[in-house]
Amino acid sequence: MRIQVFAVLKDFFKKEFELKVKVGTISELRVQLGQMNPNAVPVLKRCRFALHDEFVNDQYVLKGNEHIVVIPPSSGG
């Protein structure tokens, strides 16, 4: 599974990386990423996850070969 992160998440993870651990849902992926870097947990709790240019919810079932984009909340205008 390929993970791509943006903005503040690049302080905690490489911009793109391969996740070799099997996770079943976005919720499980969120937990796994938090275990990889506990300092990122507060940000991960507020992030949205997307596949194929569409946001998915925490119950979305993963197949294991996706390219997932993790987008933190942003501010500005």
Alpha-carbon span 28 to 70, nearest angstrom = 14
The reported pTM is 0.92
Alpha-carbon span 9 to 52, nearest angstrom = 20
Q: Which CATH number fits domain 2-71: 3.90.1150.10, 3.10.20.30, 3.40.50.150, 3.40.50.300?
A: 3.10.20.30
Domain ranges of the chain: 2-71
Cα 37 to chain centroid, rounded: 12
**19 and 46 in contact (C-beta within 8 Å)?**
no
pLDDT, one tens digit per residue, over 1-60 is 999 999 999 999 999 999 999 999 999 999 999 999 999 999 999 999 999 999 999 999
